[in-house]
Amino acid sequence: MSVRIVDWGGELPDNEPLWRYMKLSTFLLLLEGKAFFPSVATLRREDPLECVCDADMSWLQYELPRDLARYKKLQAWLDAWLKKHGPGHVPSRPLYHYEEHYIEMLRELRAIWCWHNSEAESAAMWSIYGERGVAVKTDVASLKAALRAGDFLIARIRYIKRDSDAPSFWTEWDRSRDRELVLRPYLIKSAEYAHESEVRVVTFCPPRTSGWLISDIDVSALIKGVVVSRSVPHEEFCSIERLLKTRTGAPMRRSTLLGHLIEEQQTHAIAAGYFSNQPARVEPDYLHEL
């Protein structure tokens, strides 16, 4: 097992706070020490710009030959992959086709776990990913410690402004500085998604699958706190809290987006619990109507 933390998209210190907003069903799976990493190809079904390289067909020609060992290794990977999975099982393609096949191979063979980098809760992330769910809070060091089986890469997404007049994503990049990142387009997104402030965990997955179920995640090491959506009723929050206490000692609270309504809901729940435990009082004259 190995976990690498890299900073191609920006500095990523161990204490950097991370959040993952999720459905309750996904949270229950996580409490069992499991998480599903969708493949990049699966992510593209909802976001057609996922792992997209614009029409700069020369960037691989420019970049890869500078590292001859990597260049030959990539050619061997592509040839083997195309023989087994490529269109028409073509054994080899000219170099100017390699950019297309390289990106296609990455989409099939890489699986992603997405986290949001922020100090505070995000109303946007709640709306998109956890409307009636929870948000798990951790940090980079804890995320690394929790991944106990497999090979993983943890990196910040680089957001790039899309220019319709530019030939590609790579315009005005420092190719020497961004060389490793250019070869990993699944760590690049357009600036329209910058609000996600995303940090990704990347691993391998079999081709032509929807992703990879990662097991043996150390939940105690991972979860530093759990926040429950404001859309979850108070009674459900209490049930989730009891469940969490049986699995981990991490603190749990309601979303701050509820404001003063948190105290109101708690007061109403106490009152409802008191009156529901009292016997019903019925006047004798009305008993015959039951």
Tens-place pLDDT, residues 270-288: 555 555 565 655 565 554 5
Average pLDDT over residues 16-45: 95
pLDDT band, residue 22 (cuts 50/70/90):
very high
Please list, in sequence order, all residues whose beta carbon lies within 8 angstroms of the beta carbon of residue 107, skipping any fewer than 6 positions away. 39, 40, 41, 44, 50, 51, 186
The C-alpha atoms of residue 43 and residue 47 are separated, in whole angstroms, by: 6
Q: What percent of the chain has pLDDT over 70?
A: 70
Task: Tell me the percentage of the chain whose pLDDT exceeds 90.
Answer: 42
Concatenating the DSSP letter of every residue in 186-245 gives GGEEEGGGGGG-EEEEEEE--TTSSEEEE--B-HHHH-SEEEE-TTS-HHHHHHHHHHHH
Distance separating alpha carbons of residues 142 and 139, to the nearest angstrom: 5
**pLDDT at res. 141:** 97
Pairing assessment for the beta strands 110-117 and 17-22 based on DSSP bridges: antiparallel
Pairwise CA distance, residues 6 & 20, whole Å: 20
pLDDT value at 38 more than 70: yes
Per-residue model confidence as pLDDT tens digits over 81-137: 767 765 555 545 554 466 677 778 888 899 999 999 999 999 999 999 999 999 999
Chain centroid to Cα 56, Å, comes to 28
Cβ contact 240:253 at 8 Å: no
Task: Give the ranges where the chain is alpha helix by DSSP (H).
Answer: 24-31, 40-43, 59-63, 68-85, 98-109, 123-129, 140-146, 179-182, 219-222, 234-247, 261-276
